[in-house]
Amino acid sequence: MTTEWPDPGEYWAGKRVCVTGGEGFLGAYVLERLAQRGAGEVFVPSIRDYDLVQQDAVRQLLADSHPDVIIHLAANVGGIGANLDNPAVFFYDNLMMGVQLMHEAWAKGVGKFIAVGTVCAYPKFSKPPFKEDTLWDGYPEETNAPYGLAKKMLLVQAQAYRQQYGFNAIYLLPANLYGPGDNFDLRTSHVVPALIRKCFDAIDRGEDAIKVWGTGKPTRELLYVDDAALGLLLAAERYDRSEPVNLGTGRPISIKDLVERIVKLTGFTGTIDWDSSKPDGQPKRSLDTSRAEHFFGFRAETSLEEGLQRTIAWYEANR
């Protein structure tokens, strides 16, 4: 039996949409997808004008934008090093942004709230592929637990507000994102942009080795950023339930294999120096993506090879 999905243009027609974090990496792709779907009234708050950690700023944002739908992408994020250096900041900022925004959105009568969580919320030793029902089976990996738990509280809040108030908030768990326009700052970047940057820096300097954190044994699941944007909007259009939903590819790769693939695609010909004194992070990450496909028809479209090629080409052109 074929599922009859609502027409995207009809869903977004006449709706006022607020995209927090719309100036960020994922936000740029969400805005492009919204434009393609005919969303005409899209409000993108700038962090310069609205510090969403502050309640007054949240209330001002809602007064200025009058949204029917909120897509909450704003977050204070980073890789393992940034999480180790800023656990309190990452916990407080992400918790306060999300909790206050969802509460004030309910109070203002916003029709739908799309909360974006993180794969970091899963327990450290979750059995892959991670199923949404195992989200509470243990404590997250220590290096990013404060961030992961702050984001996971949005799931608790969404379910509580749906139960008590009938508020239509949904919660999505994307895999690690990558793609053109990513953050390539080695102090704060995630694994893919950091590796690409290290390879090109080594080529530019004539160095014969790159240093990579950890042992290379952990696995990660990587989701191309434009696929993530599509998944978010399909969920906004088609999903109105309390259960969290993974967004991913269902295809993990080891860090060792990922490094070797990026080394090949960038043209770096030197060696890889594994620094096993540095943390690996979560041992294994891969997602069960069947719920997203079943409930709103999402399936990632971009292969890892194609996504890496696009990302590397973008970095070469823009560095």
Q: How many helical (H) and strand (E) elements, i.e. helices and strands, does the chain have?
A: 11, 11
Angle (nearest 5°) at CA 300 between 295 and 305: 165
Within 10 A of 136 (CB to CB), how many other CB atoms are there?
11
Residue-wise DSSP of 169-199 = EEEEEE-EEE-TT----TTT--HHHHHHHHH
Q: Is the dihedral of CA 171, 176, 178, 182 positive or negative?
A: positive
| Residue in 29, 50, 147, 239 annotated catalytic | 147
Report in angstroms the alpha-carbon separations of 110 from 18, 44, 61, 103, 202.
10, 16, 13, 10, 50
Buried b (16+ CB within 10 A) or exposed e, 197-208: bbbbebeeeeee
Q: Is residue 147 flagged as an active site residue?
A: yes
Q: What is the rounded distance in angstroms from the CA atom of residue 97 to the CA atom of residue 27?
A: 16
Q: What is the rounded distance in angstroms from the CA atom of residue 24 to the CA atom of residue 44?
A: 10
One-letter amino acid at 5 equals W
Active site (catalytic) residues: 147
